[in-house]
Structure 1
Amino acid sequence: MGALLFGYNTSVVNGALDFMAKPSQLGLSAWAQGVVSSGLTLGAAFGAVFGGPLSDKIGRKKLLTWLGVIFTVFGLACGLAPNTTVVIICRFILGLAVGAASGTVPVYLAEIAPAAKRGKMVSMNQFLIVFGQFLVFGVNAFLGNVFGDNAGIWRVMIALASVPGIALWIGMYAMPESPRWLTSKNRFADALKVLYRIRSKAQAEAELQEIKVNSEKEKAEQAEAASWKDFKKNWIIQICITGGMLGIIQQFAGINAIMYYGSQVLRDAGFAANAALIANVANGVFSCIGAIVGMYTIDKLGRKKLELTGLIFCAVALVVVGLIKTYAGSASWTPFAIMIIILVYIVIDQGTIGPVTWLLNSEIFPNRYRGLGTGITIFTLWFANFLVGLLFPALMAALGLATVFYIFAGCCILGAWFVAVRVPETKGVNLEDIESFFRARYDKSYKGESKI
């Protein structure tokens, strides 16, 4: 539900903005639409920073429960907002919850999943994000076409986000706490009880022993809890750079320009307004298809190979859209050709770049640094997301669809180079062993060798 709310709240403006921009409603300009859309992602950037340390302090389960409350209350408040200022404030607060959830949910899943299934479990998070986007696209298309004569229908579109918020709020009471978080608090008996619920007896006892050994190593290195001063260590800085760049690459590949402004992109391609709203639902459908593909391939093909493949093919698709718009912009077949290529691009992105980014960011930090570390890298991801959401309408107006897509394609190529030279393959590797890759490369005091 946390991931579904992530997808629903980030993309609910895709279809609602046209109604919000009407003079009888909020009368939003192109720039104001960017601010309303990106206000949530700005909040998410800060939520990612504070969510990690907070989850380390109070636990993954308790934090996700409180996030369900925030999603419920401020989803309703956003729908009832009397003016643009209140909408932006409510979406910023929702963004805080989205950001905290975006960092906490993958970590929670990675910590409770066995190593062999960790990729599939964390990729389920990606699937639920895009399912939330598909859900809101479908709801908005239905409401926009059936009740489109009432310009205030955007309030219903946005307020419906409170429904999955209630489900998260209540559902977390039935979920176990992370066994790795429990061991970090020396609650070994409670951790074993959780492991007995989600593993066989032998697996539970073996995994607890492994976690204990790693915990003792960490305590031997430094008695106090991880703090910001720990992030002055070069090898930790390098992990942060790697995770942060993965987030920037994911966003500058352009996927959320489609997820937030898909109906506007399709109108620019040549579709009529109502047809664009309906066609936009296909974006959600193909996002789900891509996420399912990624969920079943990420542990078979590996993280690095999927990321590289995705970036290269996304770059090709973006260039093709740009060329069609540049040289055949007025042709009768252009809208359908662009829509088909965008759908192919979505499947590729959501099946490769999307899940790999979240999974790697949940894997690369040692347990002791995971809360703060993922907060930093997810902040970077969300700030990049904020920039895309804020600037895309203005860039579209100033440069046109083709040029913006060429820029995204260039970012994909640069991203592929970075992944090739900096990112480790973590497929099937225990979380405790991933640390060795970065320490062997970047920690001069480290005497061991990389286990990857």
Structure 2
Amino acid sequence: MQNSTDSYTNEKNHNGFLWLTTVITCMGSLLFGYNTSVVNGSLDFMAQRSQLSLSTFSQGIVSSGLTLGAAFGAVFGGPISDKVGRKHIILWLGAIFTIGAIGCAWAPSSVILIIFRFILGLAVGSASANVPVFLAEIAPSEMRGKLVTMNQLMIVFGQFLSFGINAWLGSAFGSNASIWRIMLGVASLPAILLWIGMFFVPETPRWLASQGRYSEALQSLLKFRSANNAKNELAEIKEASKKDVAEATQQATWADFKQPWVKQIVITGATLGVLQQFAGINSVMYYGTKILEASGFGTKAALISNVANGIFSCIGAVIGMYTVDRLGRKFLEYSGLIVCAICLIFVGIISTFASSASWSGVAVMITVLIYIIFFQGTLGPVTWLINSEIFPAKYRGLGTGITIFALWFANFLVGLFFPVMLSSLGLANSFYIFAACCILGIFFVHARIPETKGIKLEEIEEYFHKKYDK
């Protein structure tokens, strides 16, 4: 008979492997953050000091080509993961990230650079859809929030890492016309770690069970759970999928999404992703320097102050990781939308009525940092988490791909039109629009989002099935 000390040690070992698997998988999230942000500090070197001779239009394509690729990577990466498995697609992404980073660093022309940036975008988009799903499918229900929000922490850490590496390389080796190649090529290191690491982690038990491979699903669960917990959880998974045994090995198709209840899940997840982006976070992350300049900061001061965005993003993500399983998804969504709306309105008021005051610039910067820390601790991670939870196993890959495609397309629209909004409408009116989206989001969350804290994935499926399959 196993004593309590042995049981504790056994559970601790399983949790240790669970966290190790999470860190390995989240290298994909780190690469998401790094590759979306690295161009922010390297673009000037590409355009002005290298043989690429990028025009203004080409600079825009280099910057936004990754985002466009990410949208397609999300929508096509999901169905592929349904077919080949969560582990195998993330393993392939490690190789694609490596090839893309080396290709960008080597690129002899702007055309080649744009092609490899688009390839990186495909990997970024697929990682954004598949990493949260992988984590949700291996996590115990009581730890799912914490593990899946590691995805958000690693995204913002990747962004911060790119800011820091670019600042160091640009300051120390800025006279080297090719330093941008190192900035882009550094991403190959975590990509190689992701590729190698994924060879040593198991496939997710829920994907294996969805294929009718219950023996392998049990072996996978035994890597992450004690023997008793693994057997009990597999029995629950079997029971939940019993009505679909005849379809267990069939892949989801676009026709399946015509079912009313599945369609409603897609609408819920996609709208949540769009609202996350229309809350304005990437106007701050992409154009933080311009916002501070518009508030009275000098160019150099704005650049230095903008580094704080990365630091506060990481702090917010850590807070979110440790509160999401305590406070719940809906509470964090409400809190984030309310506080973000207040911050955006406050910046607008300062810009409208006190723009000439000596304290206005500092007040805007502090308010923006409060906005960042709340967003990254609430709306940022919870949106990815809910999208990974609400789809049944059979539809999870394709469904998540569709909803993340909507998120990425909204991201693209914010990045494309915010400079136009800033120049034509001004900072205040631009932020009022984002605040209005936050307020609309409060009503949407109240009407459409169930509380999923501590609820098994199979029970979440049953909730949507009963609510919308009429």
Q: CA deviation at 1:222?
A: 7.9
The match for 2:157 is: 131
AA at the equivalent of 2:66: L
Q: Quick check: 1:364 aligned with 2:390?
A: yes
CA contact 2:71–2:404 (8 Å) conserved in 1: yes
CA contact 2:83–2:251 (8 Å) conserved in 1: no
Superposition pairs of residues 375-414 of structure 1, within 5 angstroms: 375-414=401-440
What CA deviation, in whole Å up to 9, does each residue of 1:54-73 have, x standing for no partner?
A: 11111111111111111111
Whole-Å separation in 1 of the counterparts to 2:219 and 2:431: 51
- The correspondence for 1:323, drawn from 321, 330, 349, is 349
Q: CA deviation at 1:27?
A: 5.9
CA contact 2:332–2:379 (8 Å) conserved in 1: yes
Distance change in 2, residues 1:179/1:374 (3 Å): same
Q: Quick check: 1:99 aligned with 2:141?
A: no
Superposition pairs of residues 235-246 of structure 1, within 5 angstroms: 235-246=261-272
AA at the equivalent of 1:71: F
Structure 1 unpaired stretches of 5+: 445-452
Whole-Å separation in 2 of the counterparts to 1:395 and 1:20: 27
- The correspondence for 1:252, drawn from 262, 265, 278, is 278
Superposition pairs of residues 30-429 of structure 1, within 5 angstroms: 32-150=58-176, 152-220=178-246, 224-429=250-455
Whole-Å separation in 2 of the counterparts to 1:11 and 1:95: 12
Larger mean Cα displacement after TM superposition, 325-334 or 39-48: 325-334
CA contact 2:82–2:397 (8 Å) conserved in 1: yes
Q: Quick check: 1:7 aligned with 2:29?
A: no
AA at the equivalent of 2:157: F
Whole-Å separation in 1 of the counterparts to 2:262 and 2:234: 25
Q: TM-score, normalised by structure 1?
A: 0.92
Structure 2 unpaired stretches of 5+: 1-26
AA at the equivalent of 2:38: V
AA at the equivalent of 1:256: N
Q: CA deviation at 1:325?
A: 2.5
Distance change in 2, residues 1:395/1:77 (3 Å): farther
Q: CA deviation at 1:28?
A: 5.6
Q: CA deviation at 1:162?
A: 1.6
Size of the alignment, in residue pairs?
Answer: 444
Q: TM-score, normalised by structure 2?
A: 0.89
What CA deviation, in whole Å up to 9, does each residue of 1:415-440 have, x standing for no partner?
A: 12211111111111111111232222
Structure 1 residue ranges, 4+ long, deviating more than 6 angstroms after superposition: none
Whole-Å separation in 1 of the counterparts to 2:268 and 2:119: 28
AA at the equivalent of 2:30: L
CA contact 2:392–2:461 (8 Å) conserved in 1: yes
Q: CA deviation at 1:150?
A: 4.5
What CA deviation, in whole Å up to 9, does each residue of 1:174-206 have, x standing for no partner?
A: 212101111222322222112111101100011
AA at the equivalent of 2:355: G
CA contact 1:79–1:156 (8 Å) conserved in 2: yes
AA at the equivalent of 1:130: V
| Other structure's SS at 1:428 match | coil
Whole-Å separation in 1 of the counterparts to 2:49 and 2:126: 35
Q: Supply the RMSD in Å over aligned alpha carbons.
A: 2.1
CA contact 2:348–2:431 (8 Å) conserved in 1: yes
